[in-house]
Structures are given as structure tokens and as C-alpha cells.
Amino acid sequence: MSAESSSSGGLTEYIVHHLTHNVVQVGGHSLHLDSWVVALVVGLLGCFLLWTQARKATAGVPSKPQAFVEMVVEFVDSQVKDTFHGDRRFIAPLALTIFVWVFFMNAMDLLPLDLVSAGVQNIAGAETAHHTYMRMVPTADVNTTFAMSITVFLLIIFYSIKAKGGWGFTKELFTAPFHAHGTVAKIILALPNLFLNLVEYLSKPVSLGMRLFGNMYAGELVFMLIAGLFASWVTFVPGVIFNSVWAIFHILIILLQAFIFMVLTVVYLAMAHEHH
């Protein structure tokens, strides 16, 4: 019984340690330094990789990396073309940026869970590693996903006002989806319309942020459970097998979540851009 409690306590401590962010105080507010740094690094890495292939692009037979990048760009552009029927000069690069950036951030979940701890332990010792926190998956941090979804929400408001005008956008908040004829009917339905529109608008960033966060957090937690349960040398081989199987399945989740975030962003912007 005591052995089970000790094992359970060790697993709990292991998971809690890996779920703790590296927090710094900036201007009296807490900043998750690990999420910010990793998101910035993988974002710059994605830009660099795309830039290098664009710089080496040739009109002849493309290299394999160039062909892969062209395939990704054409895939994203076709998705935007099918959904957004206005000027795509900003929307298509935005969609490509979202897809590549979210994919790279999600892909950090495939790195060995204790990679950072092992590096710190080899350099500074086990005690320092025990007190060093570093979460490698920015999209498993709700602050990251909501920062992106709120940015999309602001773009939705911008495109709504751009397409309908300030007065048209405000009027639509009070007159749709329930249309009415007559002044009295319009006044009666104004508040229900406003309430429904506010719910619709606010649900978009919430669903975008929570969907990505929930899937990536759950995937990260499963990796931690597998690593904690198979931490001893006796269960090392089964642990590697279980982690490998989950990683292969998780690749689909990583790609799918990046695709869903990109597509929903384009759909929301297309809805905002179209006149009611």
C-alpha cells in the first residue's frame, strides 16, 4: 500500500513538474517565458525555412524541399480560394502563417519529454534540473491559443466594419438574425438580436482557443502519463513502444489542429467580409 502511494506520489510530482511554466514577472504581470520563447523560436524557424526555399526557387525541376513547400503553399491557397471570395492578398499569407506556425508549435510535443531536464542536469546538476521549469509546447498553454484567437477576433471585427461600414456593422448587431418590419417590432427584437450576435462573435475566439488548447494539453498529458508510468529500467522497452505508438497517432492530431485553426480563421473572416 505504501509502495503504491509512493509510486502514485512520484508520478503526480513528475506530472506537476512538467505542467509548471517558467514564469517571470514583467510590469507586475506574470509572463510564461517558456511559451513565449518557444513560440518565437519556432515561428522564426518556420519563416527561415520558407524564405530559404523561396530564395532558391527555380523555374525548372524543383528540389524535393522546394516541391514540398510549393505543395503546402498551393494547398493553403486552394483552401483560401474556396472559402474567401474577396481580395486574398492578405488572407492567403495569413492562412499560411497560421498553418505553419501552429504546426511547428504543436510539433514540439514530439520532442522527448525530459530532453530539457536531461540537458540542465548534465550541465548544472540534478538539483538545478529539479527546480527548472520548461514547457516545450506553446499551444498547450491557454494564454498562447487565446492570444492567437483574440487576434483573429480583432480581424473579424476589422473585416466586418470594412465590408459593411461602421454604421452598417452596428445596425446589423441590432437587426439580425431576426428581421422585423415596423418600428415597434424592431425595438422589441433589438436586444435579443444584440445578445445573439454577441454570443456568436464571442464564441468564435473561445472555440478557436479552447479547441487547440484542449487537444494539445491532452496530448501532452498522455505523453507525461506514459513517461511516468514507464520510468523504470524494467519497463523502458514497453514505455518506448507506447510512446512511439502515441507519437505516430499524435502526428495526425498535430496536423489536424493546425489545419482546423487555419480553416476556421479563413471561414470566420469570409463570413465577416460578406455583406449580410
Catalytic site residue 89? no
| Segment holding 174, helix H or strand E | helix 142-175
Q: Could you give the residue ranges of the DSSP H alpha helices within 19-141?
A: 33-55, 64-83, 91-107, 115-124, 126-130
Q: Locate 84 and state its grid cell.
A: 474567401
Distance CA 101, CA 258 (A): 8
Catalytic one of 106, 149, 160, 215? 215
Q: Which amino acid is at 127?
A: E
Catalytic one of 8, 122, 203, 207? 207
* Dihedral (CA of 109, 208, 33, 129) sign: negative
Catalytic site residue 215? yes
* Dihedral (CA of 154, 155, 158, 161) sign: negative
Catalytic one of 89, 211, 243, 244? 211
Q: Which value, to the nearest 10 degrees, does the dihedral of the CA atoms of residues 242, 14, 252, 93 take? A: -160
Task: Tell me the CB-side half-sphere exposure of residue 157, using CA atoms within 13 A.
Answer: 11
Catalytic site residue 207? yes
For residue 177, say if its preceding peptide bond is cis, omega within 30 degrees of 0.
yes
Q: Measured in Å, how far apart are the chain's first and last C-alpha atoms? A: 65
Question: Which residue do the cell numbers 530539457 mark?
Answer: 116
Q: Which value, to the nearest 10 degrees, does the dihedral of the CA atoms of residues 219, 220, 226, 228 take? A: -160
* Catalytic positions: 207, 211, 215
